[in-house]
Amino acid sequence: MYKIGNERAKYILNKEYDNTIFVLSKGEGSQMTFAETIATISNLKVNASARDIMLVKSIQNGLEYLLDKLYYDDLYFDKDILCMINRYVAANENFDNIGGFRKGNIKISGSENKGIRSSELDFEFYNLKEHYFNTDKNGISEMILCLRLIKSQYFGDGNKRTAQLMMNGLLVTNGYAPLILNFRDNITVDALIEYYDNNNILDILKIMLEKQKEMTLSYCMEDEEVKIEEEYQKDLKFITNNLNTCANLLQ
């Protein structure tokens, strides 16, 4: 993955502020237009449902928290930080141990995945954290970490929002451009469910790599375009030829 450096990556995340909130809220079923979302971010009155307005403001608060941690170079993979992100983004939806890992069971529409048993979440997170710290921070590891967080379902709600913000914070910290997925997009949802139910990580990783490349290209210099494409092709080859390694990474 093409590395652009921490400062450039932070610049991109700030520039994508409105779009990040819009796409994340769309992924949770928001019916607001981009213009209405921007108005809500700016605390202007919009003709939208209370649920959608609260959703956008909650995601905005989570992103603000993430940007604040990045500004002070205080963002790392940690339970307290992960739980705080979830506390913000799912403030009006997660009623299962808000501010901590879930205590109850969970059901995911369209999938057989039920996440990790609640009694095993702390142990699972400890192992995940240890493995991540001992893994090469190459961008792909951050994507796989995001997917592991989503699949394990640490929270009663807001898992995808929380995991995506955590991933983007780590990508930026390690000098890579962020990316954002809309989990109401049919192709993305199908790829995620295939990962949930059959541990097929290839399709969803390809989507993530493509999105990250698009974001990097949107803010690159002309003489970087060829190198970005070269790194992208290397990453595609790596995940295709090392599928078992990717599926088991961070486990």
Amino acid at residue number 149: L
Residue 110 predicted with pLDDT over 80: yes
- Can you tell me the mean pLDDT for 131-156? 95
For 103, residues 6+ apart whose C-beta sits below 8 A from its C-beta are 96, 97, 118
Question: Residue 9: what pLDDT?
Answer: 98
C-alpha closest to that of 250 among 159, 135, 140? 135
Pairwise CA distance, residues 18 & 40, whole Å = 10
Question: pLDDT tens across 192-236, in order?
Answer: 999 999 999 999 999 999 999 999 999 999 999 999 999 999 999
Residue 34 predicted with pLDDT over 90: yes
Residue 247 predicted with pLDDT over 80: no
Please check whether residue 5 is in contact with residue 239, taking contact to mean a CB–CB distance below 8 angstroms. Answer: no
- Can you tell me the mean pLDDT for 111-135? 94
Amino acid at residue number 208: M
Predicted confidence band of residue 249 (pLDDT cuts 50, 70, 90): low
Under CATH, to which class is 6-248 assigned? mainly alpha
Predicted confidence band of residue 251 (pLDDT cuts 50, 70, 90): low
Pairwise CA distance, residues 251 & 236, whole Å = 21
pTM: 0.96
Domain range list for the chain: 6-248
The three-state (H, E, C) secondary structure of the chain, written as one string: CCCCCHHHHHHHHHHCHHHHHHHHHHCCCCCCCHHHHHHHHCCCCCCCCHHHHHHHHHHHHHHHHHHHHHHCCCCCCCHHHHHHHHHHHCCCCCCCCCCCCCCCCCCCCCCCCCCCCHHHHHHHHHHHHHHHHCCCCCCHHHHHHHHHHHHHCCCCCCHHHHHHHHHHHHHHHCCCCCCCCCCCCHHHHHHHHHHHHHCCCHHHHHHHHHHHHHHHHHCCCHHHHHHHHHHHHHHHHHHHHCHHHHHHCCC
φ/ψ (deg, to 5) at 96: -100, 95
Predicted confidence band of residue 250 (pLDDT cuts 50, 70, 90): low
The CA-atom distances, in angstroms, between 130 and each of 123, 143, 249 are: 11, 16, 12
